[in-house]
Structures are given as structure tokens and as C-alpha cells.
Amino acid sequence: MKVLVTVKRVPDPYAKISPNADGTDIAREGLTMAVNPFDEIALEEAIRLKEAGKATEIVAVSIGGAESQEQLRTALAMGADRAILVQTEEPLDPPSIARLLAAIVQREQPQLILMGKQAIDMDDNQVGQMLAAILNLPQATFASKITIEDSTATVERETDNGIETIRVPLPAVITADLRLNEPRYVALTGIVRARTKPLETLTPADLGITPKARVRLKKVEKPPARQAGKRVADVKELVRLLKEEARVI
């Protein structure tokens, strides 16, 4: 079974983020970048499937500038067999990304597509669902447990009402939630091996696609300063203050 895993380059989740001088983007100079944490979880799951004998090949895919090779090399060091970069400097929205990924899926013909449920930079939570719709494939989102048997995936998915268990035929798109697993640390031997693993670079034109983003980032600004809290003497005063706040809103 071939597994395709998305790997997006995002700001390190522990980095301090601030707007750039003109407020059109975040300040990227000197900013540490990393693999999107949810994609890292998806990749870990693919590696575990391979270790269990369920998967035979793992292909990591990223869309972005040449610098995204850094995150793909990290994926290769973790355990992916090969990587594909769809290189573009154009700003892309979720539908454009989904179309490019769909072209890669049609080219590679994987039996399973694993993705993070969302990327921590934009928090759209749209690409996985759009990709499944474009390819007309079954999908299971917010997976906290995945079991592969024959040509079927049983997925425990997290919902607002608790855990829902669904069964989908393969090929399918599955998006990873936080509790699916804990990604491994990259070993030195993995970093060395990653240097010799294949990393293919394509352009959108190579896939027959001219992406046109319909959603663009217009402005970035800091959140308003947090106001100081108020101490109340009793429940009666708390109710009064809440009612006054409601009238203001």
C-alpha cells in the first residue's frame, strides 16, 4: 500500500509571531520554520503503518517555495521513502492547494492519503475535505485512531459529541487529529539517510494546473491588548456585571 502524506512548511509553533512593518504578512526574517505539527502526526502514522507491514511506500508532498525542501528532508529523515515538491511562489488558497494535491494523487495513485487536519499558520481546516471532494474519495477527518484491514480503514474520529467510529474503503483521505500519536524524534542516522533519498521538484505547469487564488491575505495585526479582570464580591454582583456587559454588546 502506497501512502501519500502532506508536509507543509509553517512557522515553528513555539516561535514568537508578529506582523511585518506594513501589516501585509507576518515578519518572516529570522523566523524559525518547521513541519506543520498535524502533518507531522500524519507522517508518524504512515511510518507506523509501514513498520506494521501495512504500507510499502511513503511519499511526502509539499507545495511552496524552494525552501520547503527543508521540511521535506525532515520528512525523509523521519522515515518517508521519497518526496515531491510542487514549487511555486504564488500565494495559494485552499481550493488551489487541493487541486494541486489532486493532480499529485492522480499521478501517484496512492491507496491512502494522510494529512494534518489543519495547518497552524492559517487554521483553515479545508484542504483535506476539498481534496476528497475533487477526487470523489471517501474521507475521515479528525482521526484519533486508524486501523487498516485489507482494503478498509476503521477510523475513530473526534467530534464535539465524543468519539465516532466510521469505516471507509480505500483509497481514502484521512486527516490526523492531535491525539492520533506522538511523532518520533529524528535520529542522526535518519538525517544521514535522508540526503540520499529522492526529492523530485515539479511546477504547477508540470501538473497541467495554473492555480489562481481566490482568497488572499489582506492584513495582519496584533490582537487587542488583554484587559484586566475584575474581582466581584458575590454571585449577585457577577450576574449584574454580566448583564451590563451583554447590554453593551
* Residue 147, domain CATH: 3.40.50.620
- Distance in angstroms (rounded) separating the CA atoms of residues 68 and 78: 16
Nearest to 75 by CA among 193, 202, 203: 193
121, part of any domain? yes
Confidence bin at 51 (pLDDT 50/70/90): very high
Averaged confidence pLDDT in the chain: 92
Say which residue the cell 526574517 belongs to.
29
For residue 131, give the 3-state DSSP assignment.
helix
pTM over 0.75: yes
How many structural domains compose the chain? 1
202-221 pLDDT per residue, tens: 999 999 998 887 888 888 88
Question: Can you give the residue range of the structural domain that contains 200?
Answer: 2-223
Say which residue the cell 511523532 belongs to.
183
Residue 44 clears pLDDT 90, i.e. is over it = yes
For residue 144, give the 3-state DSSP assignment.
strand
156, part of any domain? yes
207, part of any domain? yes
150, part of any domain? yes
234, part of any domain? no
120-166 pLDDT per residue, tens: 988 889 999 999 999 999 999 999 999 999 899 999 999 988 999 99
245: alpha, beta or left? (left if phi > 0; alpha if psi -120 to 50): alpha
240, part of any domain? no
Question: Is residue 115 within 8 Å of 128, Cβ to Cβ?
Answer: yes
25, part of any domain? yes
194, part of any domain? yes
